[in-house]
Structure 1
């Protein structure tokens, strides 16, 4: 069954389409969701897999054309059918240019809608041939969002990829393809993280994910339990990296000086860092940099440095190779007591308590 979402701010129009007799096994298309506007529709699309969107053009909040653009950008659905009044013909034509599959005139005629859905049904096998290209584009979209510091959007695109894998015929007939496609996504993103965010290895558990994925025998036949396991691992991987990038990497909307400052701090975590060093590296005076950073990020440079070092300390505690005072020294703190105090203030636990909790989790 192909899953259909109807979007229209008029209940009577949604009711008219709901009552059409061809839904279900007769046509192979199932009406699974409705939305009153484009904003609600985007929420539905991010929560579940949808094959076809039938949307009105004129709606409050987010109209049909804006919804279409969002769907196309985020690759949330392959087929969008626009519905319009006669007077909206120019809008409908613009929608086709934006990537809509077809358009229908209100009130929607059952035979006309069924005809469009039949064309979609015939087109789907052809589109499935290009699934690899689709996944490549989706991974590129994730990378673009990550580079912009938009972790939430990146996670939403990956969630849609998972929905595609679960719902596709390929998943039902050959789980090997879907599982190994997940592995391919992981490898592509791992290379991307290494190139663009090398500092992730110092304040995240990114290396642990590499060990987990490398421990799987990818030459063997996969089953559903392996797919579910890989799905959980890769989901956790992307979510953790995306959240950290969004949290620490100031990109979208920020001054280039701020970006250079953050990059310097993230690249020198295991050193004693001060504002004078950073100002020299970005070629501005200390006062200007301090004021600009506070204005743009709502925190001082010293506080940001401390946040980064606290995260780094957590990873060093997880690795369990250094003693507490050695961790403080590693991070550039000559006064161990001071570092221990600020660590507890920010985490609610002493270094020893945090280490013990990690040990319990690992048991």
Structure 2
């Protein structure tokens, strides 16, 4: 603790300093002054020069009360103790109004001074503990946003760090997982307000929330007592309605069934995703609850499959898209929508294999790069799903000739954003997602982005790794894996090439900067 002393009486000032040192030798006296003006001049030059000020009331040029009043109007975080030979109540009242911590009467009693300093020390300790807690909390939030529930559960240390504290607090109680998404990018001011309200909502329902950036999703783990299921759904719906009423954006939520164990979080998350995908069918500003039993069906019958195949093989894109649009319109739940689209993609792949003389394997590939978890969940509206499938059909029918497929590159960049940790290949994207020549897609990507696919992916991964290195929570090898590198030495090599230093050196620089 750093302290400055102000008293116009030299011997009284030195005696007070001696008394302070005898009470606590670890207190550092950084300055002693004769009047308030000298104190202000010192603090202007050294704003971090003191934690505590002990000042006499009666001093020339600027007395203790005037000094205290002036300091109360600054941003300086300073605890002040007033010392006076006068016992008038008015002095004490004015001192308290200016935020003074204590008021001592001359001659200063050692026990009273010690008690005053101990109170300040306790307050400082509590403040530092709270500050460290807040900083740690913010660091965890920043780190977690680059992960996912599945990744956290696969790593024992991360589960212990991020999830177990929540479950220990509500041990033995059942929980439900809820996903909240917005239909557009939330601006920072809206996000700050939403997160404050989410914190309040989570506290009211005994739980916590996490933000995962890849899918711009808020994931809530909420513990409720018996018989609270209906009221929870009502409260969640009220919460969303209030948020939607106040802003020009739409929120939807999907909630899972009830569980009690940490490992069941993965299943709970899948259920919440399945539930919220229903917004594609029934619209936004709704709370969707996971249906325990469902019987999805592929609306692409054998008869319609024959018609669709003939339309594509005869390059009749309009007929093919009209049939597909009709099928999608018939879907009444997101499960049927998913199964139907997979059926369409499986057919497209078989046609692609036949036209390009590619050997078709036993496993169907429609699901390879179109999944309930990623692609379907990534769409905000059903018209986007229609457009996505329509673009693929148009490609296969070759109706767009030599046009540049800007939308494909946009989709690939979005795909990298959400799957950069996986083993991504432009060849697989070309063959199984867009049904086009991989060499052509490679040239298209370079023309649109200005660099090769592999270089863009490498730089994207390393930038994500740099963000994770700003905190000390994750190990270097964990960050390498999260960035998509199984070989740590390769990761370090690429990182040094891009940033001019190793990941450890980069982390040290960021830590010192903060």
- TM-score bracket, normalised by the shorter chain, equals 0.3 to 0.5
TM-score of the two chains, using structure 2 as the length reference:
0.27
Which is helix-richer, 1 or 2?
A: 1
Question: Which has the higher Rg, Structure 1 or Structure 2?
Answer: 2
TM-score of the two chains, using structure 1 as the length reference:
0.37
